[in-house]
Amino acid sequence: MNRRGQRKPPLYDIALWNNHDLVKENQDKTTNRCEGWHRGLESTIGMQHPNVYRLINALKSIQQLNSITVEKLVAGEKPRQGSKIYQVINERLQRLVLKFEEDEEEFPPLLEFLRGCAHNISL
C-alpha cells in the first residue's frame, strides 16, 4: 500500500501466476518437466560447459530416446504416469475448482474454498 492507503498494482500480472485455468484443464502447474529434462541433459553430457560436439551428441541421444517413447505410444503403450500422490492432489484440486464454479451459491464461502485448496497444497 502507498501512503494514501491505496493498493499498488501487483508486481507481476495475475495472469502470469494464476493457475486456475490450468487446474480446470488438468494441465501442469509447474515447470518440473522442463527442469527434469534439463537435469537429464546435464547428466547425459556429464559436465557443466561442454563443447558443441558433445552437446550435439547428447541431443542426438535424447532424440533417440524420445523417438522410442513415441513409437511405444503409437503402438498403444500407456503413457508414463506421475506419482500417485500428485495424481490424487490434482484430482482433488480439480474437483474443488469445478464444484466452486458450478455451484457458487451452494458451495461454501470463498474462504472455505481457499482453505480446501490450501489443505491439498500442503500435503
- Residue 117's pLDDT band (cuts 50, 70, 90): confident
Kindly report, residue by residue over 69-104, the tens digit of the pLDDT. 999 999 999 888 778 888 888 889 888 888 888 776
CB distance 27 to 104 below 8 Å: no
Which cell goes with 29?
502447474
pTM exceeds cut of 0.85: no
CB distance 93 to 117 below 8 Å: yes
CB distance 123 to 89 below 8 Å: yes
Q: In the predicted model, what is the mean pLDDT of residues 14-39?
A: 80
